[in-house]
Chains A and B, each alone.
Chain A
Amino acid sequence: MMVSFFDQFASPSYLGIPLIAVAIALPWVLYPTPPARWINNRLITIQGWFINRFTNQLMLPLNVGGHKWALLLASLMIFLITINMLGLLPYTFTPTTQLSLNMGFAVPLWLATVIIGMRNQPTIALGHLLPEGTPIPLIPVLIIIETISLLIRPLALGVRLTANLTAGHLLIQLIATAVFVLLPMMPTVAILTAAVLFLLTLLEVAVAMIQAYVFVLLLSLYL
């Protein structure tokens, strides 16, 4: 059995229990429920403040109808951030590297926005397919293009998340292996270690990844 770099992305199971369920359930444990106190400890204060700020920012462009999505989007954001950050630790498995999980997030949510848009205001939803001010001869072509772009959206969302995370993890593994192998030969190691560190800080742009995910989801809300 060949050990390859892609083994880290195999869904782990232990004694027949798919551990991915544990990995997905883990973030829930990490955020304590605020108790019914007026002044809490620092962790809960910061947690509450952060969620507050984030939801506020998220709901700014939306009208009141869009605020129904606040809970879903905020919890989605926290969930994805936690999972991605936890995946940076060694010997951990990141569920979001599985395309199935990300498509499971992308397709239903995207479909929901489209269907709700079509149901509540079909004319406006269809009108989004044609940008304003297009020259008349281009109209048929543009409608086809816009429809394709609309249908591609869930694919883009899911694959973007998967690809970014997988690529990041893979790179970490590769460079770490390079460092490990080059350890007997000293100088190169130092440079490569620095590269790993830098890459890691960039990878805590997994957070930005989530921003992108949720934001794109939000942008597709023409509710």
Chain B
Amino acid sequence: MLSRLVLVSGGLVQASRSFHQSSQSLAPVPPLPEKGGKVRHGIFPEELFTLLYPKTGVTGPYMLGTGLLLYMLSKEIYVINHETFAAASIGAVVIYGIKKFGPSVAAFADKLNEDKVAKAQEVKDQAMASLAQGIEDEKKEQWRVEGRHMLFDAKRNNVAMLLETNYRERLHMVTNEVKKRLDYQVQLQNLHRRMEQEHLVNWVEQSVIKSITPQQEKESIAKCIADLKVLAKNTQARATV
């Protein structure tokens, strides 16, 4: 009955909340408490001790426990029989097991969780590292780009020089070729002139030789002999003087 009342009142509480007014999501989920509830002697929650502390002090709960135990034993509500020993043995085994393996099992569970967190953390760290590296690389590339115009200038200069050199070479070549052609013409003209000169000289000689008649030949020879005689006389005369 009471439970039904609770359920209905719970439903009423839900119904009185207006619809779709706020984003009713359960996220972010509140974090779990780090450690379990504090217990004393493995079973009794610490809240019991805190509850009884104001009235009965530190020994309160222990007195309560002892009193209950003695009451149950004396009134034979709990009878000591063979099961007590069975309970004692199993209790001893359980407590031994918990004391011996408890911390290691807890550490194991913690390690499992730690490993999970560490893996995710590693992924995150690696992502961040790769992104930082990307930023570094990008900065380096930008710096490289700044210096790239110098590279281009140098290259441009190179190319210009090459072009210039090429141009000059070809210019020279052209000049040389033209000069060769002109020299050829000059030589040709020289040759022509020389040949004409020679030809003319030959012709003149030939014509002079032809034009020497025998008469003239005799006269010239006679003249030569007369001249020679005069010369001989002169030299003779000079020689005696």
Contacts and interface: CB of A to CB of B under 8 A. Distances in A.
Interface of A: 36-43, 45-46, 49, 88-91, 172-173, 176-177, 179-180, 193, 196-197, 200-201, 204
Interface of B: 29, 32, 36, 80-87, 89-90, 92-93, 105-106, 108-110, 112-113, 116-117
- Chain A, interface SS category: helix
Contacts of A172: 86
A42 B82 contact: no
Contacts of A196: 85-86, 89
Most buried by A among B36, B84, B109, B117: B109
A176 B32 contact: no
21 contacts: A38-B116, A40-B32, A40-B113, A42-B109, A45-B109, A45-B112, A89-B87, A90-B84, A90-B90, A173-B83, A176-B82, A176-B84, A176-B89, A179-B82, A179-B85, A180-B80, A180-B81, A180-B82, A180-B85, A193-B89, A196-B86
A91 B91 CA distance: 13
Contacts of A193: 85, 89
Contacts of B84: 90, 176, 180
Nearest to A45: B109
Given A89-B90, A204-B93, A41 B82 contact: no
Contacts of B80: 180
B31 to A, nearest CB: 9
Nearest to A38: B116
A40 to B, nearest CB: 7
Which A-B residue pairs are the 10 nearest by beta carbons? A90-B87, A42-B109, A176-B82, A177-B82, A176-B86, A180-B82, A176-B85, A90-B83, A45-B109, A196-B89
